Amino acid sequence: MIRIIKWIFGWETQKTINKKVCKEIVCFVKKAKELSSKQQVVEYDKIYHHTLKKLWYEGTFWEILKQKPREIKDLNEIWELHKFRNTIVHELRDMDERFILKQSTKYRKVVEVFVKRVTK
């Protein structure tokens, strides 16, 4: 009964996803590893957004981040990675491949930790 009341009023500390959805997300992460560094950053961003949607958040990635989901431990880190993704997608400029690879690796680790944290 207390759990239902917490859910109704939004007092639940953290939402979770089931193991089936988690396995799907892990498959997406594995497939993303085969892409170029730039493509990986874009895919990890999509995976993170997809995971948040599975946690019943709605809207664009930016709109969800503005809601400050309890499940995200370091909102600034995710915001910076998302802005980096936007730079890759929207700006026409050469970037150092080593830096892109570093950011891609960081994003993959963040996604993997996040998915583990929100899995039942």
User: At residue 48, does pLDDT exceed 70?
Assistant: yes
User: At residue 1, does pLDDT exceed 90?
Assistant: no
Output the pLDDT for position 102. Answer: 95
User: At residue 112, does pLDDT exceed 60?
Assistant: yes
DSSP state of 17: B
User: At residue 40, does pLDDT exceed 80?
Assistant: yes
Average pLDDT over residues 76-88: 95
What are the structure tokens assigned to 84, written together? 């980096």
Q: Is 60 exposed, middle or buried (0-12, 13-18, 19+ CB in 10 A)?
A: exposed
DSSP state of 16: -
Sign of CA dihedral 9, 12, 13, 18: negative
Quote the pTM value: 0.82
Q: What does 41-106 look like in DSSP terms, one character per residue?
A: HHHHHHHHHHHHHHTT--S-HHHHHHT--TT-S-HHHHHHHHHHHHHHHH------HHHHHHHHHH
pLDDT tens column, 58-81: 999 999 999 999 999 999 999 999
User: At residue 13, does pLDDT exceed 70?
Assistant: no
CA atoms within 13 A on the CB side of 84: 26
